[in-house]
């Protein structure tokens, strides 16, 4: 039986994403009603600039008092798309206290305070959904915490930032330098005026924390995620990658240790074989590769940002939360029962590509090889070229810990024959 009393929705934020949420709620109202089992009504929109014209939104719905809006008591669901830590955190907890469930796209807040927000939702018997916080329109959060809830996930590796993927893809396909590719990304609207959050990996690290927490049933905070940006990636690195049959991506990697006793979460640029599915992800698209015991390998791919894609994920959550509201139930909350320790980056084991500037004279390779051996790092391949007394030495290792590789590089820098370390890059996906 169709419920006639509408479910009331408060929208916090009406920027690129919020305005699309409001538009879809209006234009797809009949479909949403049929799917939910009750009409949904936009009951208020909290904004910072009330004088701006917002097409399709009645002026009487607009307010600058977000606190009063979430305290109304007749609000069923609060949709938070303002971002940042405060006032979003306080508004969300206030919404729970006053009887509303919450749909959020706030990756930074969830990565920092997800445990506290889940606890507040559980205390008040309300839902907290956040599909839009990771990878835009790609269904990822719900499959991990619902569809794969009966499986054991061992690794989640993906491209979760469209800006960085566009830049790296442009460098790979055209031979452009980093700054040139960034300038194009900015001109096309893929990069913000200040791209730091993207290119230095902060955005991807927040998403990695969320994904690791869900995948491994363990609380993983933003501070637990190793982060390395991509601003030092050069055209020479891409040339080396191509010689190895690889490309370079900024990857978020969350994985269990081999013994299953700990987990790691990290974000950094890495060489990845062209045969790997993630290598073919072009432009500003996102993709996440999941490996589990029973399901095996799964790939989730699609647009990871933008108003319409992100709004699609928000509306999907809104439908689910509204259905729960009608049924008097709540969806899955935080699952952190495993409580696995998060290992430091030094414990991570992977392959490495190291490019050295060395003196072009006999015995250099032997000296370098000795340093690797002394630190327990096995060499897979070596490529040397040079002239006029200077040379380049490229070493690709077998799998080694980050701590062992760090010690190796420190020792290499002390050799008189090593002029400098041109680049160090991890090799993933093998």
Check if the beta carbon of residue 369 is closer than 8 Å to that of residue 379: yes
Phi/psi of residue 58, nearest 5 degrees? -60, 135
Residue 421: which residues within 8 A CB-CB, separation 6 or more?
354, 355, 356, 357, 409, 412, 413
The verdict on whether 242 is a catalytic residue reads no
Q: Could you please report the per-residue DSSP string of 312-353?
A: HHHHHHHHHHHHHHHHT--------TT---B--GGG-EEEEE
User: Is residue 35 a contact partner of residue 45, using CB atoms and an 8 Å limit?
Assistant: no
SS3 for 115-144 is HHHHHHHHHCCCCEECHHHCCCCCCCHHHH
- Given the residues 107, 170, 207, 249, the one annotated as active site: 207
CA dist., res. 365 & res. 367, Å (int):
5
Distance of alpha carbon 76 from alpha carbon 43, whole angstroms: 10
* Separation of alpha carbons 90 and 72, rounded Å: 15
When computed from its CA atoms, the radius of gyration of the chain, rounded to whole angstroms, is 24
Contacts for 186 with CB less than 8 Å, ≥ 6 apart = 192, 193, 195
Rounded to whole angstroms, how far apart are CA atoms 365 and 259? 36
Distance CA 144, CA 332 (A): 11
What residues are labeled active site? Answer: 207
């Amino acid at each position: 039986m169709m419920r006639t009393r509408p479910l009331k929705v408060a929208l916090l934020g009406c920027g690129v994403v919020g305005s699309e949420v409001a538009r879809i709620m209006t234009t797809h109202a009949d479909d949403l009603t049929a799917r939910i089992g009750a009409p949904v009504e936009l009951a208020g929109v909290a904004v910072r600039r009330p004088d701006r014209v917002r097409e399709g939104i009645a002026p009487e719905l607009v307010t600058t008092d977000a606190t009063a809006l979430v305290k109304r008591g007749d609000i069923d669901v609060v949709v938070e798309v303002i971002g940042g830590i405060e006032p979003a955190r306080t508004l969300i907890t206030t919404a729970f206290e006053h009887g509303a469930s919450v749909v959020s796209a706030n990756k930074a807040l969830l990565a920092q305070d997800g445990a506290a927000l889940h606890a507040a939702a559980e205390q008040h018997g309300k839902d907290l959904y956040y599909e839009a916080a990771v990878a835009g329109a790609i269904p990822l959060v719900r499959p991990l915490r619902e569809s794969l809830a009966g499986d054991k996930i061992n690794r989640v590796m993906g491209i979760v930032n469209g800006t960085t993927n566009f830049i790296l893809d442009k460098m790979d396909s055209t031979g452009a330098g980093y700054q040139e590719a960034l300038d194009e990304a900015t001109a096309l609207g893929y990069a913000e005026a200040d791209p730091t959050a993207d290119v230095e990996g902060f955005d991807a690290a927040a998403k990695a924390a969320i994904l690791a927490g869900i995948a491994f049933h363990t609380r993983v905070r933003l501070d637990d995620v190793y982060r390395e940006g991509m601003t030092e990636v050069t055209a020479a690195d891409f040339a080396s990658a191509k010689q190895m049959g690889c490309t370079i991506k900024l990857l978020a990697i969350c994985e269990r240790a081999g013994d299953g006793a700990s987990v790691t979460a990290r974000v950094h640029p890495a060489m990845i074989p062209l045969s790997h599915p993630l290598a073919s992800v072009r432009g500003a698209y996102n993709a996440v590769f999941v490996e589990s015991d029973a399901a095996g390998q799964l790939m989730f791919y699609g647009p990871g940002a933008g108003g319409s894609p992100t709004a699609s994920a928000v509306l999907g959550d809104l439908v689910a939360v509204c259905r729960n509201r009608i049924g008097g139930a709540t969806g899955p909350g935080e699952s952190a029962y495993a409580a696995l320790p998060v290992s430091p980056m030094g414990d991570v084991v992977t392959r490495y590509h190291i490019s050295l500037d060395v003196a072009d004279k006999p015995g250099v390779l032997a000296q370098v090889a000795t340093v690797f051996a002394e630190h327990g790092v096995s060499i897979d391949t070596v490529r040397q070229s040079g002239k006029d007394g200077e040379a380049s030495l490229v070493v690709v290792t077998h799998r080694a810990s980050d701590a062992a590789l760090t010690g190796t590089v420190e020792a290499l820098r002390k050799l008189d024959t090593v002029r400098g370390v041109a680049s160090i890059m991890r090799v993933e996906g093998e």
